[in-house]
Amino acid sequence: MNSLFKTIVLIGRPSTPTLKDPIQRLMEMLPTHGVRVLVEQETAREHQLDNCQSVTQENVGKLADLVISLGGDGVMLGAARLVAPYHVPLIGINQGRLGFLTDIAMSTMEEQVTQILQGAFSPEDRIMLESTVVRDGKEIDRQLAFNDVVMCRGNTGAMIDFELFIDGKFVCSQRGDGLIAATPTGSTAYALASGGPILHPSLPAIALVPICPQSLSNRPLVVTDSSLVEIMLTRARDVHVYYDNQYDVRLQAHDRLTVRRFRNTLRILHPHTYHYYDTLREKLRWGEQVV
């Protein structure tokens, strides 16, 4: 049976020599389903895959009908930012430690990928964030994030003073180590470690989680995903904004950081046996059902 997807791009986690074998296995298997296989350029170079067609990161979303990421959640976060502008679906094969997003085990890779190619999958659309940095009235940076946009202090240890606005309305002033704006997907990442709530991935919401606020009355806040979140830095000695902890920009006093929902959702294709609460129970080591 031919695949629902005609062109598939493979992206592997960097500095992981053990991924060469599973990548080659997919390169051999996928064409038997009528699939054209491309390998992201840096992945192909690292594993010396001279017998494949490679593609630059800039062209992944333009050429792929489906992207398969191999490694852990980190590589899937990076792949998400590449494909979301093009509505390209994504699946993840886990060789990481936690794997909230990469829900296909390496041991069952061929079987489950084959089932997905034949239409046996559960699609799920998840929101992403778009963030801009405005300095002296000019936009100096614009990025996407799948998990979170994190404004936090650097190495100097100085706390940050900032003001928070939602939809143009002043909410509060805060002093602390920073603020996390997390998607429901990212609510189980840094935001959770900072005391934020777990949001179901289907919720149209953004979690705003203070990082070590000076005032204990500053608590996590959940807003609708149609909100425009603005952060105005009033004092900043060594402050950065991080996107999925993979890219950062240094901020200055009086910079304005805006966060809003990105226009496109990201579609993840899960195996048909996937269930979100099973993932939470496994990854967070919750108790098993007794009755």
Catalytic residue list? 73
* Residues 171 and 164: beta-carbon distance below 8 Å: yes
Q: Give the 3-state secondary structure of 140-187.
A: EEEEEECCEEEEEECCCCCCEEEEEEECCEEEEEEEECEEEEECCHHH
Place of tokens 């890779």: 109
Contact (CB, 8 A) for 52 and 44: yes
Where does residue 182 rank: exposed (0-12), middle (13-18), buried (19+ CB within 10 A)?
A: buried
Measured distance CA(230)–CA(259) in Å, rounded: 6
Q: 137 CB contacts (<8 Å, ≥6 apart)?
A: none
Q: Which residues, 6 or more positions from 249, have their beta carbon under 8 angstroms from its beta carbon? A: 133, 140, 141, 143, 240, 241
Which residue has 């500053």 as its token pair?
Answer: 218
HSE-CB for 205 with a 13 A CA cutoff: 18
* Cα–Cα distance measured from residue 236 to residue 60, given in angstroms and rounded to the nearest whole number: 37
Residues making up the chain, counted from first to last: 291
Give backbone dihedrals phi and psi of 202, rounded to 5 degrees, phi first: -85, -10
